[in-house]
Amino acid sequence: MRSLKQLLPVAAVAFVGGRGLMAVKDNALLSLVLGVATAALAVLVYARMVRWSERRAPDEVAAEGAIARTVLGTLIGFGWFAAVIGNIAFLDGYRVDGFGTATGPVGLFGFMAAAAVTEELMFRGVLFRVVEERAGTWTALALTSVLFGLWHMLNPDATVWGAVAIAVSAGGTLAAVYAATRNLWEPIGLHFGWNFAEAGIFGTEVSGNGRTEGLLRGVTSGPDLLTGGRFGPEASPYTVVFGVLLTIAFMWLAHRRGNLVPRRPGARGAAAATLAQ
């Protein structure tokens, strides 16, 4: 039950914070404050649950170096999305029709901070880590990537291809970043950087959640195979290609650092059993 002791409290914070953010979504300042507060509370709850259930210090969310690591991850995430949207624009699949609003990105900052933190704590902080202990790094990466894709099937404009694409690209990359760094700040930053660039800067759809009012008034056109359609650029093949390349790079780095956990002998079925602990 160890994983549930950590997962459920964080999920509760995510649920309550998410409902609150939906209630104040038309107020940019309240969205910013509530989103940042939700993110901070989720980290505190996660750290407390790890201390209680595992009797250890939660080094993966240690305060030392947190800002620098988060900023680095954010830059990687922003660069990844910029590369994707740049390639889509090169093929006339995206254009800018002026500016959006100044307040839109403010509210989206809070919303995306809450989403990035809570999802990384649940998927990489709890699920990936506990599966990896018994079934190894590669199995944990594969399983949590699938779960991450299925999680996004709950979104209003979700598609099967969109879920597959996000599992392969974001699911793999975020797990690989955690495996390489052994901290959650860089995956959190990467997750936030991608989402905020997508919604808060370039004004495109985010994971099937509809169009947002970002800094730019972005317009996508052309075949869904190129742009990702209503699911957003996460479902673009460019996202998958760059995501796979990032996954390979960070898994290579994890190997170089000796961070890969081998699969234990007789570990068949251990992943599912671990999730029930």
* 140-169 pLDDT, tens digit each: 999 999 999 999 998 887 889 999 999 999
Please give the Cα distance from 77 to 186 (Å, whole number): 10
> 34 is in which domain, residue-wise?
2-275
Q: What angle do CA 106, 111, 117 make, to 5 degrees?
A: 125
The percent of residues above 90 in pLDDT, for the chain, comes to: 75
pLDDT tens digits, 90-114 = 999 999 998 888 888 999 999 999 9
pTM of the shown model = 0.92
Say what the pLDDT of residue 155 is. 85
Please give the Cα distance from 220 to 197 (Å, whole number): 15
Say what the pLDDT of residue 263 is. 85
List own/partner pairs for 22-27 with CB under 8 A and 24 or more apart.
25/107, 25/111, 27/107
Say what the pLDDT of residue 157 is. 78
Contact by Cβ (8 Å): 145, 247: no
Please give the Cα distance from 242 to 153 (Å, whole number): 22
The ranges of the chain with pLDDT < 50 are none
Please give the Cα distance from 97 to 72 (Å, whole number): 30
Q: What angle do CA 93, 98, 101 make, to 5 degrees?
A: 115
Say what the pLDDT of residue 96 is. 92
Q: How many folded domains does the chain comprise?
A: 1
Please list, residue by residue across 126-139, b when 16 or more beta carbons sit within 10 angstroms of its beta carbon and e when fewer do. Answer: bbbbbbbebbbbbb
E strand or H helix at 29:
helix 28-54
Say what the pLDDT of residue 271 is. 52
Please give the Cα distance from 204 to 217 (Å, whole number): 8
| 265 exposure class (CB count in 10 Å sphere: 0-12, 13-18, 19+) | exposed
Contact by Cβ (8 Å): 152, 235: no
**Left, alpha or beta for 228 (phi > 0: left; psi -120 to 50: alpha)?**
left
First CA to last CA distance, the chain: 4
Please give the Cα distance from 131 to 123 (Å, whole number): 11
